[in-house]
Amino acid sequence: MKKYLFLFTMTFGVIFFYRKCNGMFLSHQTIEKYIDNGCIVVGPCFDKNNIRPVGIRMHLGKDILVPYPDQIVDLTQAQDLRYKKVDLSKEEFYLEPGQFVLGSTYETIQTAPHILAILDGRSTIARLGLTTHITASIIDGTFKVPHSATLELKNVGNFRIRLKEKDPIAMMLFAELKEPVTQNLQSQYSQQLTVAPPNLQFKTGQDK
């Protein structure tokens, strides 16, 4: 019951955001136009066959981080968590039921300040019980260079799922804001080109 409630919450969040934006998600025609004129930058080598009706197909990057068990986290204290780094191009990895790992997209994304990117799942992946993000789906247009998106991967299903480099694992949707973002970027993840752990050294609100 909990896993279905979790999936419903993520889906409802996207629907709620859509309504708040007055339906300004971009269709494939506008996405392709914005890629051509540089409002949306997708690297390192984007194939336009991955443009779908209302988004672009995203693939799994080669590295994942597997957290070591039995660690205690204090959200108010700076600390470095311990992970095992797995290179999917060199070794097999199976995500077990109930297991959580961090990954990143193979593609890097940069958008103009008036374009918001929203990470979402794919239907086939969801039917296997594999989540691609846990509530953190928003990528704003304040990044100065293209960067990868973090994938919070959890197997809430019953299958052992083999993860491979460049698996087509997620979708990236785009919405157009009424006004461009003018705030400066908080810098804790500004240079992210591969999977990165949570930055508990960063103090929220003190980096403007």
Dist. CA 160–CA 152, nearest whole Å: 17
Dist. CA 24–CA 13, nearest whole Å: 15
Catalytic (active site) residue 107: no
Selected catalytic residue, list 92, 152, 165, 179: 152
Which tokens hold the place of 101? 């790992």
- The answer to whether 112 and 179 have CB atoms below 8 angstroms apart is no
Q: Give the ranges where 38-183 is alpha helix by DSSP (H).
A: 123-127
Which tokens hold the place of 197? 């752990």
> DSSP assignment, residue 12?
H
Sheet order of strands, 168-176 included = 51-52, 55-59, 168-176, 115-120, 138-139
Which amino acids are annotated catalytic? 152
